[in-house]
Structure 1
Amino acid sequence: MSKDTFLAQIVTVKSMNISVNHRPSARSYAVLSIGAAVMTIALKFGAYSLTGSVGLLSDAFESIVNLVAAIGAFWALSYAAKPPDEKHSFGHSKAEYFSSALEGFLILVAAGSIAVAAVDRFFHPQPIEQAGLGLVLALLATAINGGVSWILLQASRQLRSITLRADAYHLLTDVWTSVGVVLGIGLVSVTGWFVLDPIVALLVAANIVWTGCKLLGETGFGLLDGAIPDDEQKAIALIMSEYKTQGIQFHALRTRVAGSRSFVSFHVLVPGAWTVQRGHDVCEIIEQAIALALPGTNVTTHLEPSEDPISWNDEKLN
């Protein structure tokens, strides 16, 4: 890769940064999630008050979790956006995991509350009243959650935000939960089997537990400095392969994910006869190539002479 190509890449990176700065911030999407949660809470509790369905009550409880989680997401995204400082030289992006951990915990609490209410209703079944109007309100809330979850999922991919992704999948789970509750109420209205209402609520609780455990697992993976995804590692390997034909070698590749940011470091081994300037230029070109392929990634390289045996002492991870 020539120096002119390298300079062209830098211009491309700068133009990409300008376009990124004009995108809506992750926090604006969190505000959208908060607004949607408030609306769906009102609709679902209205549906519950009309029908008396414990299934709709369980759905409304989950929307309360959505609201608390959205508020937590807004705080986490605000804190994660702070620039690096003396005490946090790698930035504050890991703050996003506080939001996903809080959301996972609250999901489990909501599931427990739903299960308690459902068991009581199972042994003391009650008829469902005004099912038609209640279902209309529930379906309206479901449509709102479905639209917002789609928007958040698209934004999470563009902004590489685990907080928005977690919120999107949670809302999407809420959508399927609401669909299940609506079907349960419909079956009760058709069959007259009141016991189907608490059974659906218990199934909802089980689904919520699965979602909560999954979110907590993803949070733990991030807090333990999990490696970047396999497809991104393959992209790095492809870039490196272009330079191995020039006598350049690599080792000690280390990667980790911290919220919306990724960190990559590795050693670059070049012929010892090269000048420092030439080796430095190659490292800069490779770093920019990876930054182009993986936006939001901080790349650090360490230059070493390939002929020196000491250079190979840290080939493997310690």
Structure 2
Amino acid sequence: MNQPSVDSVTSEQQAAQQQEKAVRLNLLLDVSMFVPVLTVAVLANSMLLMTDFFEYAKWIVSSLISWLILRRIRQGRTEAYEYGPEKIEVLGGTFISCLMLVGMVVMTGVIIGRIIRPEEVVPGFGLVGILVHLAGTGMNGWLWFRNKRIARETGGPILEATWRAHRADTFMNIGVIIALGLTLSLRQYHWSVYIDPICALAALLYPAGAFVAMLRRSLDELTDKTLEEAVQLQIMKQLADCFDGYESFHGIKTRRAGRRTFVEIRLGFHTDRSVGEMMDTVHHLKTGLETDIPGVEVTVVPIQADRLFEGHSAKTQIRMVPLSPATLKPALALITTTFNLTPDEVPVLELEESVEPGRHTAILAQKGISDPSYWVALFHGHVAGVTGIYFTPLDRHEAVWGGWTVYDPTLRGSVSRAKMLMLQKMVIEAHATGRKLLRLYTSTLPAEAAANRLYDHVGLKVYRTEPLPDGTGMVLYRQAELASLYTQAGLDSERQLGTEE
């Protein structure tokens, strides 16, 4: 994973500034409503109003912490955090979710006590509570849509938690108004004393599912890596230095205990290599990492690569061939499963047009796509990867676009080579068109993190971003000069890719 550039840090600070203003407004509104809600809740003797008072108190604390976090990011004072600005935001989202869930548990106990020993709501102050919640409904509804828009623009977990909370509060306020109205209008019946606490319990438990999901996602994000990004870069650098010493890479496991970091690296070696040769690679890798990274202890676990490749090298068994009718369905299946696409999202037209030019030309032109060409990587006759290129009318004179590019992750020993192989083939074919630029797009979704790291590494820079239609992340538009890519990769011949035309 690459370290953030100056431009990316600036964009993080700009996004933090926008989020900071939104959270500061939330904080001011919550503080202004706190005293009136507290007064009405105590005088009305209503569990529903008490629940809402607790919500305001909780939001003041969480908004204050969120504001402080975003303020530090905006000012660029993140060096005290090993995880980086994005991890700080996720940490803030985790805290908000935990605070809400703890508050819900506490209030649930209080409400159950009121159900066991019911008390009447004071009518006059109950009416005042209804008026307060009418104002609260309007305020929370406005904040809901405003913060949702900002969260989609900036992609911050703090604003993601915030707009979901205001959505829950909007519906909760409506429920409070209805429940208080029923409690007051039916107070002549003895059972009406149970309406207030029962509705309060329902209103409290309603948003719990949303925050459990938010907490789970935040914890997954915080625990997905033991090592900070700078250390990950050091490991990848050493693996690259030793690239010719091993055949395949099978992952890294990391653990941290105090200031000591334990790294386990699993590498595949062929049995035709001597023990001495393998130990030289292991020693070089261990020495390099333990020198570059203070407090690290490295263990290299050798794996017999021959068992994974049936006695053949991945270097000689992967071949690039044009997409054909025989490989069309396996290629579509690999794309569909890799990207978890719905039937409407599967690029059937693009790949069929590559196999049979002219079949869908008019339909694809309406989508801004022309002349798609695709290739597949064959590993023992199995479709192990797909890559391609296409043109768009707006920039056809200067650029060619990278198409759907995937590799089969189940071929464990060849994953690292397959990723680079797909990119090399894309660059070769794009360079052959005579265009100046290669362009493609990815997203900030976790499933595309590995692709983004690879594209950062080879110099495909982000030149434009826009929110995904569903608001779950950002689309990253990348480009690089083909001459630079072609020279950097040393692509002087397609023969090195095992290409068969």
Instruction: Measure the CA separation in 1 of the matches of 2:69 and 2:16.
Output: 19
- In structure 2, the residue matched to 1:173 is 168
- In structure 2, the residue matched to 1:152 is 147
Aligned match of 1:291 in 446, 457, 464? 464
Deviation of 1:171 after TM superposition, in Å, equals: 1.4
- In structure 2, the residue matched to 1:282 is 437
CA contact (8 A) 1:248 1:271 kept: no
Deviation of 1:58 after TM superposition, in Å, equals: 0.9
- The 5-angstrom pairing of residues 61-76 of structure 1 reads 61-76=54-69
Instruction: Measure the CA separation in 1 of the matches of 2:35 and 2:408.
Output: 51
- The 5-angstrom pairing of residues 74-93 of structure 1 reads 74-81=67-74, 92-93=85-86
- The 5-angstrom pairing of residues 182-261 of structure 1 reads 182-192=177-187, 193-223=192-222, 244-245=389-390, 250-251=405-406
Deviation of 1:31 after TM superposition, in Å, equals: 0.4
CA contact (8 A) 1:138 1:178 kept: yes
Scaled by the length of structure 1, what TM-score is found? 0.69
- In structure 2, the residue matched to 1:271 is 428
Deviation of 1:175 after TM superposition, in Å, equals: 1.6
CA contact (8 A) 1:30 1:74 kept: yes
Instruction: Measure the CA separation in 2 of the matches of 1:83 and 1:310.
Output: 48
Deviation of 1:151 after TM superposition, in Å, equals: 1.6
Alpha carbons of structure 1 residues 165 and 309: separation in structure 2 relative to 1, 3 Å: same
- In structure 2, the residue matched to 1:109 is 102
Instruction: Measure the CA separation in 2 of the matches of 1:216 and 1:284.
Output: 36
Deviations 1:162-196 (A, max 9, x none): 32121011012112112212211111111120111
Scaled by the length of structure 2, what TM-score is found? 0.46
CA contact (8 A) 1:104 1:211 kept: no
Alpha carbons of structure 1 residues 90 and 207: separation in structure 2 relative to 1, 3 Å: closer
CA contact (8 A) 1:72 1:99 kept: yes
Alpha carbons of structure 1 residues 27 and 187: separation in structure 2 relative to 1, 3 Å: same
Instruction: Measure the CA separation in 1 of the matches of 2:15 and 2:159.
Output: 18
Alpha carbons of structure 1 residues 298 and 88: separation in structure 2 relative to 1, 3 Å: farther
Deviations 1:238-284 (A, max 9, x none): 99968614797755699xxxxxxxxxx98353339969xx89x5347
CA contact (8 A) 1:125 1:194 kept: yes
- In structure 2, the residue matched to 1:261 is none
Alpha carbons of structure 1 residues 298 and 96: separation in structure 2 relative to 1, 3 Å: farther
Instruction: Measure the CA separation in 1 of the matches of 2:28 and 2:423.
Output: 47
- In structure 2, the residue matched to 1:308 is 496
Q: CA-atom RMSD, angstroms?
A: 4.6
Alpha carbons of structure 1 residues 29 and 273: separation in structure 2 relative to 1, 3 Å: closer
Alpha carbons of structure 1 residues 168 and 112: separation in structure 2 relative to 1, 3 Å: same
Structure 1 window deviating more from structure 2 (65-74 vs 82-91): it is 82-91
Deviations 1:84-136 (A, max 9, x none): 99998995222111111011101111111211111111111111112212211
Instruction: Measure the CA separation in 2 of the matches of 1:84 and 1:268.
Output: 39
Alpha carbons of structure 1 residues 228 and 175: separation in structure 2 relative to 1, 3 Å: farther
Aligned match of 2:31 in 38, 44, 47? 38
Structure 2 portions without partners, runs of 5+: 1-6, 226-337, 351-366, 374-387, 391-399, 410-419, 442-459, 468-473
More strand by share: 2
Structure 1 portions without partners, runs of 5+: 1-13, 255-264, 312-318
CA contact (8 A) 1:84 1:90 kept: no
Q: Which has the larger radius of gyration?
A: 2
CA contact (8 A) 2:466 2:476 kept: no
Deviations 1:188-218 (A, max 9, x none): 1111201111101111221132232022123
Instruction: Measure the CA separation in 2 of the matches of 1:90 and 1:267.
Output: 30
Whichever residue aligns with residue 428 of structure 2, its letter is: P
- In structure 1, the residue matched to 2:362 is none
Structure 1 window deviating more from structure 2 (199-208 vs 20-29): it is 20-29
Deviation of 1:52 after TM superposition, in Å, equals: 0.8
CA contact (8 A) 1:69 1:103 kept: yes
Whichever residue aligns with residue 28 of structure 1, its letter is: K
Across the two proteins, how many residue pairs are aligned to each other? Answer: 280
Match of 1:291, SS state, is strand
